[in-house]
Structure 1
């Protein structure tokens, strides 16, 4: 398997290698964004959930760990809390757009590599008088590796995008609940 991959990279054109390098960068970026943002949002959700629990059970004030508390500076007007909600969600959703971009462009980057690989294969075959299926099939299958790599990266990017979007929604729910309670308490 490793020999096949090294052989593929050794025989690949500059465009094919550039496509695979781009997709590798996408893949690493996708995981980095997901891990960083997931842990950050998960921590925020924990703090906001604890603050909401405190607010609904025993205390009439926000927890000092709450992002809403840090933003509002103990001023609980509807306008200030609304502005804080928007700011917190904006900060929490940083990076999610990149996952969407990666998910939508990675298959096209891979497809570009496949098209170039197929064109190069046909250019090589043009010098030969008779070309059979046994010669064409390996060249085409090698070219399709780029499309497979693009789809592989896109699957992770799209999945991570959906997970983080759901986590931001969950965070937003806790923040809105706290905000409504504070407005109701006056």
Structure 2
């Protein structure tokens, strides 16, 4: 496996190196965004869940750890609570659009590398009068590595985007529920 990879890299062109470097960067950014945002959103969800539980218990007070409480400064204004909800979700979703961008562009970057690789392979065989499939097949299969890499990156980016979007939805529900309870308690 390693020998095959080293042979592939030894026979690759500059475009292939650029494509694989870009896709590697995309993969690193994808994992970094996911790990960083996932832990931050989980902490927010836990704090808001605890705050909601305290609001629905006999205490009927905000948790001091609640981001909604910190933002609204114990205000019961519907408008202020709604603005705080939006601001918290906006802050929590920083970087998530990059996952969508990476998931949609990485297959095209990989495909670009494949097309260039196939064109280079055909250019090598242009001077030969007869070329067997056994000679063309390895060149084309090497070119397809770029597409596979692009698809692999897209799978991770799309999956992580969906996971974080779901967590943001859950955070939004906890924030809205708290706001409704505070507004209802005021009236």
Q: TM-score, normalised by structure 1?
A: 0.99
Matches within 5 A, 1:167-178: 167-178=167-178
Superposed CA deviations along residues 45-68 of structure 1, whole A, max 9, x for unmatched, are 000000000010022221110000
1:28-107 aligned within 5 A:
28-107=28-107
In structure 2, how many angstroms separate the alpha carbons of the residues matched to 1:4 and 1:127? 27
Number of equivalent positions: 186
Secondary structure of 1:156's counterpart equals helix
Cα deviation, residue 82, structure 1: 0.5
Distance (Å, rounded) in 2 between the aligned partners of 1:135 and 1:7: 15
Residue in 2 aligned with 1:153?
153
User: Where does structure 1 differ by over 3 angstroms across 4 or more consecutive aligned residues?
Assistant: none
CA-to-aligned-CA distance 1:102-125 (integer Å, 9 cap, x gap): 000000000000000000000000
RMSD: 0.6
What stretches of structure 1 of length at least 5 have no aligned partner?
Answer: none
Q: Distance in 2 between matches of 1:147 and 1:67?
A: 43
Q: What is the distance in 2 between the residues matched to 1:71 and 1:2?
A: 53
CA distance in 1, matches of 2:101, 2:17: 21
Task: Tell me the residue number matched to 2:116.
Answer: 116
The alignment's TM-score, normalised by the length of structure 2, stands at 0.98
